[in-house]
Amino acid sequence: MSVELENKVKGVIEQIRPYLQADGGDINFVNLTEDNVVNVELVGACGSCPFSRMTLKNGVESAVKKALPEIKSVEAL
């Protein structure tokens, strides 16, 4: 696993974080798997929001994949 890629993923998540915090939620990076899947934890309002999956896929995952095309997906644990 590339530490450099992991740091880039964390950087993209940091750019997204203020938008989630504005809605009372947050996101925590958990890990990057060997097959380039990013695992995150949605917390606060995002953890219980019925739209969190849509936020994760349409917002977080699309931003990460746009910045880092080698990432396969972003999954919430």
- Backbone phi, then psi, for 30, in 5-degree steps? -105, -60
> Which domains are seen in the chain, by residue range?
3-76 (3.30.300.130)
Token output for 66: 């746009």
Q: What is the mean pLDDT of residues 53-69?
A: 91
**Looking at residue 17, what is its pLDDT?**
92
Going by pLDDT thresholds of 50, 70 and 90, the confidence category of residue 1 is low
Mean pLDDT of the chain: 92
**Looking at residue 52, what is its pLDDT?**
81
* Nearest Cα to Cα of residue 75 among 44, 38, 45: 38
Task: Please check the confidence at residue 73 and state whether its pLDDT lies above 80.
Answer: yes
Going by pLDDT thresholds of 50, 70 and 90, the confidence category of residue 2 is confident
User: Distance (Å, rounded) from C-alpha 14 to C-alpha 8?
Assistant: 10
